Amino acid sequence: MKNNFLQEIFVSLALIVLLILFLNPFDFWMPNTLLIMMIAGLIVVFALFASFIWRENAKDERESFHKMMAGKFAFLAGAGGLIVGIIIQSLQHNLDGWLVAILGVMIFAKIIGLIYSRIKY
């Protein structure tokens, strides 16, 4: 359990670092080979991250509650960040459609998850 937790934290931090590098914070010119390697790394690390999330199993009600709360925090933080981005870009009259699309996908996935859980459990 503890080893799995540390692995999940490490993979999550690696994913955050890769995402920050995609913003090019050091203003280095990104050659195509480096960009392709970063994209491949992002896909691999995200697949590992998704596998941790998918394999989560609670052993008791308390642990189930903790995982549910973590999921709620993650969803609300992501949705809140997208809402802030939508508001800021709308005020600048330069709204990126990706922000709206991703928020829509998140909400749609939440609906599908609710339907799936009602049918499955």
- Residue 39 neighbours by CB distance under 10 Å: 12
- Helix axis angle for 61-91 and 97-120, nearest 10°, is 160
Contact 50, 74 (CB under 8 A): no
pLDDT digits (tens, 9 = 90+) for 77-111: 999 999 999 999 999 999 999 999 999 999 999 99
| pLDDT for res 2 | 55
How far apart, in Å, do the first and last CA atoms of the chain sit?
A: 25
Give CA–CA dist 35/28, Å, rounded.
Answer: 12
6 confidence band (pLDDT: 50, 70, 90): confident
**pTM of the shown model:** 0.73
Give CA–CA dist 108/110, Å, rounded.
Answer: 5
User: Does the pLDDT value for residue 7 go beyond 80?
Assistant: yes
How much of the chain, in percent, has pLDDT values that exceed 90?
A: 46
